[in-house]
């Protein structure tokens, strides 16, 4: 779609023929004033079932993207991951990993 940008990132043990340990797909668009008009964030392998991160999406909508806003959205995603799946042994690894992927994906969408 015109005006939309997309990003897909993953963390895997190897580059070739490897199943991703964590991934994120994000798509979004800015309006004519440079504010987020649409955004969809869907990480994989961090919750029991695939889902969109609506709290982070809502946090971004209607606002002008900044690095601070992107970092806040990444924190919301990691919080929602813990709410949906609970604290597990992998949380110590997954929390910063998913925040990093979300930050990179949203930076690609809105700040580059």
Who's near 105: CB < 8 A, 6+ residues apart? 7, 8, 9, 24, 25, 26, 41
* pLDDT tens string 52-84: 999 999 999 999 999 999 999 999 999 998 888
Q: 4-110 maps to which CATH number?
A: 3.30.390.50
Residue 32 reports pLDDT greater than 80: yes
Domain residue ranges of the chain, discontinuous segments joined by +: 4-110
User: pTM, whole model, 2 decimals?
Assistant: 0.89
Q: How many CB atoms lie within 10 A of CB 100?
A: 16
């Amino acid at each position: 779609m015109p005006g939309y940008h997309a990003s897909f990132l993953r963390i895997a043990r190897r580059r070739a023929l490897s199943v991703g340990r964590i991934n994120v797909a994000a798509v979004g668009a800015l309006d004519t004033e440079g504010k987020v008009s649409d955004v969809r964030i869907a990480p994989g392998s961090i919750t029991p079932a695939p889902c969109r991160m609506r709290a982070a999406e809502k946090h971004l909508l209607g606002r002008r993207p900044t690095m601070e806003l992107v970092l806040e959205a990444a924190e919301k995603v990691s919080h929602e991951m813990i709410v949906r799946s609970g604290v597990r042994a992998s949380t110590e690894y997954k929390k910063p990993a998913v925040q990093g992927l979300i930050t990179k994906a949203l930076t690609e969408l809105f700040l580059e």
